[in-house]
Structures are given as C-alpha cells and as structure tokens.
C-alpha cells in the first residue's frame, strides 16, 4: 500500500467519524423536549383520550391515576394523545364504533411497550428469558398498564408480590410448613430476574452467590466459611446450595426447616 493510498484512507476514516459524531450530537443535543413516536394506524388521525372514555369508561377511570397516564402530551401536534400513545390514532376506531383491527393492541405484541422500555427488549434478548420475543406471552400477562404506579426500575406493579408468577408456576405455590422467608416476604423477584438473565432459571446470580446475598454473616476465622452459624467450607465446593443435596426445596418445605425434600 502506497503512502498516498494510506493518506487517502485516513482522510475517509476521519470524515466518516466526523459525520457520525455530528449526527449523534445533532440528534441528542439539539432537541429540548422528549421525542416520542406513537404506533401508527394507516389512514387514522388522533382524536384524544376523551373519545376513548366514552366506550371504555371503566378503563379510563382507573387510568387517570396510573403512571402511564402521564404519557399524555398537550399541544396541537399531539392532540393530547394519552391512550393513543400506546394504541395508535383512533379516528377510524371511533368512526367504526369499535373494531379489533382498527387499533394497536399491545396485549398481542410487546413492540409498543419497547418504544419506551428499551432496556426490557435487551433483557428479553438474554439467554434465559420469558418467551416474550418468541410471541408466547406479552408484557400484559404480568403487568396492568392501565392501573397503578410505575416507579423507576420496576415497571408497572405486578398483581401482588408473586401472584402473577404463580398463575403459571403453580408448583411453587405454598403454603409450606417451613417457608423460605425470601419467597414469603420479598417474592420471586428476590432471586429471579423476571425479564431475562444470563443465568439458568433466570436467576440474578449463580452458584452460592445468589444465596449469599441474604445468608451472609461476619467471618471469624481464616479457614472457615460460616453461614447460618455452621461451617460451610466443605459444602460450597459441591455445587449450588440447591443442587448439592443440602437445600433442594428452595421455595419451601413440608418436612425440614433447612429446606429439604
């Protein structure tokens, strides 16, 4: 490769980098407002949430106090879209007096939810997830988008701590004679990442690291690993706490306080 060719390729690389940088700066720093792109319905225009409430009164009543209600945008270019920020423009739906195919139904696809919840699309792409991207379930199977608060980092609240999980995972439902306090008190998400994880069974951590999030105590000697007042240094190398033949009944037990079958 000649020196002239090298200089030419270097110039091309510098120009390409500058263009990419400029595009990123323009897209991120020149807009002083939140930019949203609601779903589209061919040929339809926005009518506003008041028209939705005429037929969907029960949902509208609950929706007023929900966090998703804050998606309403005031202004002529948005026509005060609220419901339509997820369901698409509703003029054709209103003119037809309803109809399943004249609006977007997020209960059939997660794409509408992913418009805002981009991080969840990434989590559902991890090796171990609920089958949302496969189309076997949707976000509304666990979340009610029309009611309740949605605090940062948790999404719309689940129907009870673990009630949504137990609708499908009935084998883990108690009550147990000997409960696992984490399940009874904190729920399934104490150990599982509900949207996806790199670990098997969608666990937040692997091996004993998961259990040690709660079952950790101050160590008093260099040659012992005390957990629950007992030296576990000879047990931890056998595998996970639930697969090494020690605490296999992780959700609760009817026969043993140490969570044994």
Q: What is the pLDDT of residues 213-242, one digit of tens each?
A: 888 887 877 888 888 888 888 888 888 898
CA distances from 57 to 161, 223, 249 (A): 28, 66, 46
What residue has token string 């605090």?
151
pLDDT (0 to 100) of residue 7:
58
Q: Which residues, at least 6 apart from 167, have a Cβ–Cβ distance to it below 8 Å? A: none
For residue 9, name the pLDDT band (cuts at 50, 70, 90).
low
Q: What angle do CA 162, 165, 171 make, to 5 degrees?
A: 105
Taking the domains of the chain in order of start, what are their residue ranges? 164-253
Say if strands 230-231 and 226-227 run parallel, antiparallel, or are unpaired.
antiparallel
**Which pLDDT value is given to residue 153?**
44
Extract the tokens encoding 58: 């029960």
What tokens were used for 230? 């007992």
Q: Is the pTM of this model over 0.85?
A: no
Residue 148 has pLDDT above 90, yes or no: no
Confidence band, pLDDT 50/70/90 cuts, at residue 25: very low
């Amino acid at each position: 490769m000649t020196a002239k060719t090298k200089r030419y390729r270097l110039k091309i690389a510098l120009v390409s980098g500058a263009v990419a940088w400029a595009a990123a700066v323009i897209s991120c720093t020149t807009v002083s407002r939140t930019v949203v792109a609601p779903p589209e319905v061919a040929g339809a225009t926005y009518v506003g949430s008041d028209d939705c409430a005429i037929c969907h009164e029960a949902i509208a009543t609950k929706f007023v106090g929900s966090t998703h209600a804050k998606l309403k945008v005031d202004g002529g270019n948005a026509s005060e879209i609220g419901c339509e920020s997820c369901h698409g423009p509703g003029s054709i739906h209103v003119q037809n007096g309803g109809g399943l195919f004249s609006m977007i139904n997020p209960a059939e696809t997660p794409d509408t939810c992913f418009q805002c919840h981009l991080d969840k699309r990434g989590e559902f792409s991890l090796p171990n997830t609920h089958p949302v991207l496969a189309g076997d379930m949707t976000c509304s199977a666990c979340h009610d988008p029309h009611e309740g608060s949605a605090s940062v980092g948790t999404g719309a609240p689940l129907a009870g701590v673990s009630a949504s999980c137990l609708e499908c995972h009935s084998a883990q439902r108690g009550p147990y004679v000997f409960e696992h306090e984490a399940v009874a008190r904190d729920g399934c998400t104490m150990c599982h990442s509900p949207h996806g994880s790199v670990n098997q069974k969608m666990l937040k951590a692997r091996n004993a690291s998961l259990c040690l999030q709660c079952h950790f105590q101050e160590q008093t000697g260099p040659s012992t690993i005390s957990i629950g007042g007992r030296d576990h240094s000879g047990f931890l190398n056998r595998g996970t706490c639930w697969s090494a033949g020690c605490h296999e009944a992780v959700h609760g037990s009817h026969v043993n306080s140490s969570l044994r079958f």
